[in-house]
Chain A
């Protein structure tokens, strides 16, 4: 699916540009985006090095295990394939906690490290495991409590009440996160059903 999306986006863009005289903008965009992706990688590099270093200390000091133990009943149901005291669980929980507190730049490193641990659990396969898909579903629906960026924009354009959207945002996030978990479950059982027929 991702192959198709990737090719269709680029090809339809180029064909469209050929007929609408926007080839110059396309050329510009290609090289600007290459630079931009390097910038994003570099800023990720910084937070990754910092947080993964710090989280390694937390892991060795037993803090991640403690966190995993604390939330065991909830996450075991979400991630039934992960052994209860595996470090993967600690990183998944750190990722979710950082997301909830709006620490976006800490959430990504912890999520990526969790993915790495999940890859180890699935024996280094290049295929996405069940737990990986669940982790992604939770992350893409975003668990933010305080949408700081949006509030900043609202303040800039002189909103009378810049924070009125916090309540509705939390509600919408809750609904989409629950939907993500349910949809993820649905597809998992569908995969299993199809797998057992084959």
Chain B
């Protein structure tokens, strides 16, 4: 079904445009130019944020920071191996994906930890990346409450993933 989706969208757009006598090719080129401009203008935001996260991660500071929160898992009775993923998920998409892969490889995809990592990875997105790209693309400097809203929603999503998996699979 999914291989039909994008071609179908293209088909519908082009057929409707032709029926309404829109000069499709000319309009396509005109609209495309905007994409070029958006991509270039978001580079500084993206590069800046990625470098800062990379320094934090490569230095080992991130692991040390995550280690500080280990005692929390005992309090809430959740597997301690899941916590680093929960905390990294909103900050770095690549780091989270490699953690998820590692957890699934080590504990098995059908283990409690494997299921938890899968749901956590699938149900939330990298908030910091999305905020950087979306605001970067249009040059928004004052982000208002966006970061707070995004991170709090992540927290809810992560807690929800843990609880749902605990109820369904344990």
Contact = CB atoms under 8 A, between A and B. Distances in A.
Contact of B164 (A15, A60, A150, A168): A168
Interface of B is mostly: helix
Interface string A106-138: 101101110110110000001110001101110
Contact of B125 (A45, A119, A139, A159): A139
Given A115-B137, A180-B153, A139 B22 contact: no
Given A49-B35, A180-B150, A187-B148, A40 B56 contact: no
B66 interface: no
A58 interface: yes
A15 B64 CA distance: 13
A71 interface: no
Interface residues of B, number: 97
A127 B164 CA distance: 37
Contacts of B59: 13-14, 16-17, 20, 22-23, 25-26
A196 interface: no
A70 B51 CA distance: 42
Contacts of A113: 34, 38
Interface string B2-29: 1001100110111011011010100111
Interface range on chain A (Cβ under 8 Å from partner):
35 or more
A139 to B, nearest CB: 5
Contact of A187 (B49, B115, B145, B168): B145
Nearest to B21: A61
B72 interface: no
Given A12-B61, A23-B59, 7 more contacts: A25-B58, A29-B54, A40-B50, A56-B30, A106-B6, A154-B114, A168-B161
Top 7 nearest A-B pairs (CB, nearest first) are A56-B31, A176-B157, A147-B122, A48-B35, A29-B58, A159-B109, A53-B32
11 contacts: A1-B148, A13-B56, A16-B60, A52-B31, A57-B27, A112-B38, A115-B138, A116-B137, A126-B142, A165-B118, A173-B122
